[in-house]
Chain A
């Protein structure tokens, strides 16, 4: 066995309120694909960010070619031959493929003080790179004209052009369809043959057995173990990933659900949603599982009136409604806790109080005049009820921890007296304690009969919280399970497109 090109020893990284990585070990050999799996918040992305020099580590050691190294900047990482392909791609839309690939490292013409880009060389080498990956992309095209998978390929080519020895893929297939995924895998195999070490992050347990050699499991920032995929079964992995006692994590008391509150009939939106039928009863939590990019968030956006559906009807409390805008949705009593907490959920530069009341001002003060005392009491009420840790109500929300921020978002919608809640990844990236509290809140909501639609990538959460579970795959509802019959295996399989028809529960 050759010596490892990358070794990680006892690396620790903590953020305010949560230890993201705790003495984690990891190693990588040339020409192997080493997969890292784990739930959201298990510490996968933190590990990547440490390796690619975005964050500094708190303690521990990195070895590249068994040389101890410090990765203190993105450039340092690149010099060490580590490059990362993030979920959100870093390309300049206005520039051409070739320009993007050699951005900042353009080969210069000889003479003329090496001032000029050797366009010939750029084009030639780009062409070589692309054809070595068997890609038919013209180097002259502006990146903005490419499809997302194509752009991803360009990122790969860019990484190769940097003579990367270690290539990190962060959820590369999340935005890809089946065929595109195969194309990506083909390329990854090409890279393996060149002896490049690949770190591969994914939720899609099935696909990793197709591509990976070894797999390391992380959970809550802890190193759980490393297996050869040849020997590991999906179920082993899931057990290792989930591995904690679910009960107390998910405080739910189940009741008999009431009548239908929200009903979707044949909702379609070109390219993302196909003929979605879905019901939510009063007093039940409906889990919406599926891989990232399977259309869960898109569905939520349709219900909240962000993107209009092309066809199909939405019935709320039995009335047929056309929801043209989020404003309309809020007036109908729909609340939407988005997955993008920082960007869409909160006003970073406003105080806790203002964030809590902003959406409900119209209801609180119908005549348009704010009574500070009343506003104060309302905000305080929710701060206490949700145990939001903040020194003062006027604290800028951006200074709060992730968990408290999420509680503020919840408070914002609770304040609107919303009648239907849509939660998109309600506990993403927040520590276990806060997770539990948010779960308790969800339970209290349904206790009062409020219907809740909960999108989550964390199977335990889906299983632990939901009365009923819909699973989505490529924009379709691929399965529906009752609490009783649902298991992680079943859900994962339906999420990966293995349709297991089961009789819908009545």
Chain B
């Protein structure tokens, strides 16, 4: 990552803010730093980042993918039918495939027909959810073979598998963003689609690839989640888009594209996890939660915004 200028600054602020939050949580929240809770925090953090990768990528190209939750639901429900029949591999393939296809449709219409990403992914959100619910008819598909459950539930040493999976994915994406020509082109497209075009890059191809990838990741996240729940249902991931946007935004991935990185996204994930975790540990009634989260998001973004402004000024 080219940690240059504003990036260093914003990360700096984010890390400081993050320290402050931890200290506050440590002082206020009982057993916050107990071993079990740390494991728990780590797990929840990585599960949050897991659902945010796709959103983050689409935001890097100045886009948005509101359909991740619904796509995850659709793909994992279809996948579950096979997995429950002991057909794990096929199931996983189906899950990823469906996710990828939904993403591909998003990308095609956005890149070729110039639909605003908001309109397209928002419609896809409806469509995928509707299909999932019609397919499931309220049933839930459960009882998977051990081999699959392992993905979501077991531990490697002290570390839960989903954490490892998400961490590996993050590593892969990090490599992909910073060490591959594709990742670099991604940032370029995000900064300026026209300049990218005039540098001989194929913008529409990049967009299609990104949205497909986002769909694929949604499908993947869906699989991990059903493995964790040991059950698939059509209602899954209703809140994902908003959670993901929150994580990305707190993580300093800007809507204008081309700015932000996985480190930020990770920090954003940690912060969201801590907030939710603290709310439950403190026993704050859930009715305060929405208020709290909304407030924190605005705060985080405002800080970030001003740090950037100052950096630009100085």
Contacts and interface: CB of A to CB of B under 8 A. Distances in A.
Contacts of B184: 354, 357-358, 361, 370
B259 A349 contact: yes
A149 interface: no
A370 B181 contact: yes
B306 interface: no
Interface stretch (B186-194, B217-225, B229-237): B186-194
Given A344-B198, A412-B199, A369 B2 contact: no
A444 to B, nearest CB: 22
A367 to B, nearest CB: 9
A399 B6 CA distance: 12
Given A350-B187, A361-B184, A399 B202 contact: no
B3 interface: yes
B294 interface: no
Interface string B169-198: 000000000111110110110011011111
Interface residues of B, number: 27
Given A326-B200, A343-B195, A394-B4, A358 B179 contact: no
Q: How large is the interface on A (under 10, 10 to 19, 20 to 34, 35 or more residues)?
A: 35 or more
B194 A350 contact: no
Nearest to A342: B195
B157 interface: no
B2 A347 contact: no
Contacts of B187: 347, 350, 354
A348 B2 contact: no
Nearest to B175: A369
Q: Which of A326, A357, A395: most chain B CB closer than 10 A?
A: A326
B258 interface: yes
A325 B198 CA distance: 9
Interface stretch (A129-137, A275-283, A327-335): A327-335
A353 B184 CA distance: 11
Nearest to B189: A347
A365 B192 contact: no
Nearest to B256: A349
Contacts, number: 89
A344 B180 contact: no
A338 B185 contact: no
Given A350-B2, A412-B199, A370 B188 contact: no
Contacts of A266: none
Contact of B191 (A326, A347, A353, A399): A347
Interface string B1-22: 0111110000000000000000
Contacts of A395: 4-5
Nearest to A412: B199
A344 B198 CA distance: 6
Interface string B152-176: 0000000000000000000000000
A172 interface: no
B201 interface: yes
Contacts of B194: 343-344
A350 B199 contact: no
Contacts of B178: 370
B199 A348 contact: no
Contact of B200 (A330, A343, A346, A368): A330
A67 to B, nearest CB: 35
Nearest to A336: B198
Contacts of B179: 369-370, 372
Nearest to B179: A370
A396 B178 CA distance: 17
A362 interface: yes
Given A345-B198, A347-B188, A359-B200, 15 more contacts: A326-B197, A327-B200, A336-B198, A344-B195, A345-B195, A346-B195, A348-B191, A350-B2, A350-B258, A354-B187, A359-B201, A369-B180, A372-B179, A394-B3, A395-B4
